[in-house]
Amino acid sequence: MCRLVHQAIEKGDNPIVLADLRRIAGEEEDSNWSPSSPQEIAGRIFHTAFMGMEKNSSPDTRKRARDLGAAIGSYHLNFDIDTVVNSVVSLFTSTSSTPESGFDVRTTCKYLHFCGKGAKLTPKLS
């Protein structure tokens, strides 16, 4: 979509496209800003984030997320959500729901359940 917007701006046939982009990107009404590339547009309107866990997220996964953000030109953040996940696990533990203390992470079902806590929190945090 950023490529299409950039092409329309370079063509110059429809000044509303540039005006709308400036508004969406937070530019002042009297701004002369014009993007030089689709990546510059993406950098102004898209944010990507890798919300990993220190023990469960590999450097390769973090790198792939960072590379994807760079490829589309987004503003990218990389941070851990361990404290949030641990707080949720603590809440469940205190209410005797799950996971039970001392669970074996090698047990597939329980491991997936635990990892699911982080996966379910990620969209809510973003």
CA distance 10 to 30: 19
Q: Render each residue's pLDDT in the chain as its tens digit; 126 residues.
A: 999 999 999 999 999 999 999 999 999 989 999 999 999 999 999 899 999 888 888 999 999 999 999 988 888 999 998 888 888 777 767 765 455 555 554 454 555 555 665 666 666 555
**Taking a C-beta distance cutoff of 8 angstroms, is the pair 111, 119 a contact?**
no
The pLDDT of residue 95 is 63
What's this model's pTM, rounded to 2 decimal places? 0.58
**Taking a C-beta distance cutoff of 8 angstroms, is the pair 52, 62 a contact?**
yes
The structural domains of the chain, with segments of one domain joined by +, span 1-44
CA distance 53 to 84: 10
